[in-house]
Amino acid sequence: MPVARPALCQPAYLYLLLMPSFAHALGQAGEAAAATFYQQAGYTVLARGYRHGRAEVDLIVQRGQALLVFVEVKTRSGSQYGTPETFVSNRKKELFRLAATHLQEELNWTGDIRFDILALTQLSQGFRIELFEDAFY
């Protein structure tokens, strides 16, 4: 007579348990790749995971005293659900602006600012990276 497996051992349940940690690890790898991308382009990383209230900015980079860039990093394992850059909501943009305003005041920043989206799609080795400079304001 077959033995029934408990509900907790069903493959679908295990998949749901493992998925968040995979997505988190993928996001962390994407943010590390994004920091490297900007550093190789001559920027200095000021902050990763900057928070102000409900706002979180994945990456803040600076080029000299002239430019401060607030970066939303979007990492996906593939494009089956759409391209990464399309997942930045109006609410997220609003929170980004709020965090940017706060940091500018905190730093007494007088230079220019820019909001970028860096879209990363996982490949067999590394990521395909697409930069959307001045993605919103």
pLDDT of residue 79: 61
For residue 16, tell me if it sits in a domain: no
Range of the domain at 50: 27-132
Q: Which residue has the tokens 């033995």?
A: 3
For residue 12, tell me if it sits in a domain: no
Strands laid side by side in the 44-52 sheet: 44-52, 55-63, 67-76, 112-122, 127-132
109 touches 103 (CB < 8 A)? yes
Distance (Å, whole) CA 68 – CA 109: 8
For residue 8, tell me if it sits in a domain: no
CATH number, domain with residue 50: 3.40.1350.10
Residues 105, 109, 112, 116, CA torsion sign: negative
The count of structural domains within the chain is: 1
pLDDT of residue 121: 86
For residue 94, tell me if it sits in a domain: yes
Would you say residue 82 has pLDDT above 80?
no
pTM reported for the whole predicted model: 0.79
